[in-house]
Structure 1
Amino acid sequence: MGRPGMSDAIKEDLWRRWRAGESISVISRALGKPPGSVFTVLKHHGGIAPAERVRRADGLTPGDRESISRGLEAGASMRSIAVSIGRAPFTVSREVARNGGRLKYRAFAAEQRAQEQARRPKPSALQDNLVLRQLVIELLETEWSPEQIVGHLRLVHPDNPLMRISHESIYRAIYTIRWKVIPRELCAKLRTGRPIRKNKKNTVKGQWRSQIVGARPIEERPAAADARTELGHLEGDLIVGAKNSQVATLVDRKSRYLTMVALPSRHTATVIPALQQAFSLMDPASSAL
């Protein structure tokens, strides 16, 4: 019931694009998914891309575990099974012991357990260290940044390894809401106030809300406007105040003459006509006064 979720392949593509710095809107259009769905996946991990799953070169493979299971079923010894798969006898005996023993060992269950144990990131160190956790929360509530907290801990507890943590671990604990280590509302205490973690590559480029339809780039501005040698070249801005009040401003680049236009709303259909009317009433000669 409900909307279909994302397949593992789509999620992998989503995270690949997020690591490359693409915005949520760009990812949404590329995957054909609503921006809200993309944000939900990102928020579940706090915006921190999961580490790519890479099997250890010396780890047991699903084929090795299947051979172990068949050897146990046939009554073979641990040493003979180890020789058949090219592994040390201790590796095989340890694998069997931690997965139920000779009678209960199953290759599929052992492979699932190994994958679960290899998942990253691991839970935060703050979960087991209640003293460190409480101190970090208190400093975050007073609007200390994770970097400041790490430096403070090194100065106050220089010889106590239990009071050490990296700033990235604090960020992960804040943004990974499923861990429930640090209260979610403390995101607002950080400098950015963002709901998810972003790296330096992430931009808002390509997001619809940041684009003006038919806009001319500032590089096409006339040379006289750049040099401030002629009257009539205006810079516009919108000031939003309390109680839903807004005022548009027009400043002549040469004379710095300021014109302010009161607006009933900030919508395009209201702002553009008001600015056009204000511009039509301007006299270049009077603006030089």
Structure 2
Amino acid sequence: MKKTYTHLSVEERAVIQVRLEQGASVRAIARTLARSPATVSRELARNGWRNPARRPRRRGRPPLAGGYRATSAQKRARRLAATPRRPRKLTSDPWLWGRVVELLSTGHSPEQVSALLVRMHSEHARVSHETIYTALYALPRGALRRELIGLLRQRRTRRRPRSQGADRRGRIPNMTSIHLRPPEVDERVIPGHWEGDLIKGARNASAVGTLVERTSLFVSLVKVDNASAQAAVAGFSGVLNRIDAQRRLSLTYDQGKEMAQHEQLSRNTGMTVYFADPHSPWQRGINENTNGLLRQYLPKGADLSVFSQNELDDIAWRLNTRIRKSLGWKCPAELFIPDDFDMKAHYEKIVAPRP
């Protein structure tokens, strides 16, 4: 049975005072409260109580309840609970707090900020992501708190469960199942195998294609005129053909109707298209996770048709230059285009130098 500990309540402290006035022992009080004798003993000691039997006798009336007062003990406990034992790290270091805010404003998550500070500075800059979250949500309510929490990707304090709707899509002809995909794709050792999807805008009236390379997590975004099969083939073909042929080997997609002309896409790009099972987002988990990150820049209530291909390329570059825990705190660009990207030089451009 799991043991849990709760602090003494004001009612329990009142019982302690009354039982002391009645001359009860510490063990008897503990039995009354169904508490450990050590809990009662520590409560009395921290509030200045001394056992009268162990004190020398003096003239006059003995102190009531041995010197213990429930109201004073409760006030002391409430005061200590509101006062941290040590100053918060970010509160006591303005430079570190400013650096955290700078990196959050560039789209990094608190966990990525934590790793990036250690990587680019020293152990002096080490701060856990939980400390960052605590500092943000400990801010008093107001415009500053809303502004800083707005830098977080989800911008909310609670996660919402995702519901799964009914699948109203028809079957796509000549599909190649994900279960026929070569083993090396699952092992994520050879680069060039991609996952793809469409993310929708307001009222599903606009869409943007998303592509993520399974090994490096490198992201490419595709402007599509609409969610039709013809528009999807044209958009995906154009973006994929910008990539070297040896780095575009296969594409894993869900069974969305926009990929009905997958055979034409294969002819345009030379890639084999594999289809995941219905209602199995974990089979394309990398792409699903990337879509969640992209919602920071392409929110569900927005009209996605206003984004040009150049603007989508800029958004993809932000993700590609953001360090990832699963990559050993490297960024996708370091792995996908190592000869063309310098992480340290990029970081020094986006963050002000230390005074």
TM-score by length of 2: 0.34
TM-score by length of 1: 0.40
